[in-house]
């Protein structure tokens, strides 16, 4: 969070049981693998409170485990304090982005779509959304992890710039 020297990153989806805990787990694993974990605080939240206190969806946990990712967080709802305290907030889709912007009382530079970190994309204007796999099969959960993994290099690069500017 902005009160310390670490870069704080919050991943946000609707219920905080599929995409955002996957974002948290995959990115945490990625920065640890690259040797930067001590410089990061990574968390996740949802735009609704329906699943508060629940672990990640079992199907997402199963798919993540096959790729050696741990999804240990419990669902919580994003707050206005999160908007103010996190250095980077990563929304999984346009609806999540709009909900975050409404909570923040407008667009903010530190609120980005995950898709804006995919190769070939640079802003929220043209970025892809990460599809919600909740009502689908295993392939949807795999696609979520594929997109998060693909975004990690640019996401880390962006965060290291933030770290250097602290």
- Residues taking part in catalysis: 13, 19, 132
Contacts of residue 53, defined as CB under 8 A and 6 or more positions apart, other chains included, come to: 74, 75, 76
Q: CA torsion angle for 128, 94, 10, 16 (degrees, to 10)?
A: -110
Strands (E), 6-102: 7-13, 40-46, 88-91
131 alpha-carbon distance from chain centroid: 13
CA 48, 52, 64, 82 dihedral sign is: positive
150 and 121 in contact (C-beta within 8 Å)? Answer: no
Please give the Cα distance from 66 to 103 (Å, whole number): 35
Number of H helices, E strands in the chain: 5, 4
């Amino acid at each position: 969070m902005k009160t310390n020297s670490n870069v704080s990153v919050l991943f946000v989806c609707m219920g905080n049981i599929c995409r955002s805990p996957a974002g948290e787990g995959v990115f945490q694993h990625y920065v640890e693998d690259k040797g930067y974990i001590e410089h990061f605080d990574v968390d996740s939240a949802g735009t609704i409170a329906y699943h508060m206190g629940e672990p990640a969806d079992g199907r997402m946990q199963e798919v993540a485990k096959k790729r050696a990712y741990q999804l240990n967080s419990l669902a919580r709802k994003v707050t206005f304090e999160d908007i103010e305290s996190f250095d980077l907030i990563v929304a999984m889709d346009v609806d999540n982005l709009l909900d975050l912007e409404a909570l923040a009382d407008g667009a903010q530079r530190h609120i980005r779509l995950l898709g804006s970190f995919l190769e070939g994309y640079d802003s929220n204007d043209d970025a892809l959304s990460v599809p919600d796999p909740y009502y689908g099969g295993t392939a949807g959960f795999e696609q979520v992890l594929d997109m998060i993994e693909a975004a990690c290099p640019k996401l880390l690069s962006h965060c290291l710039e933030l770290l250097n500017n602290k």
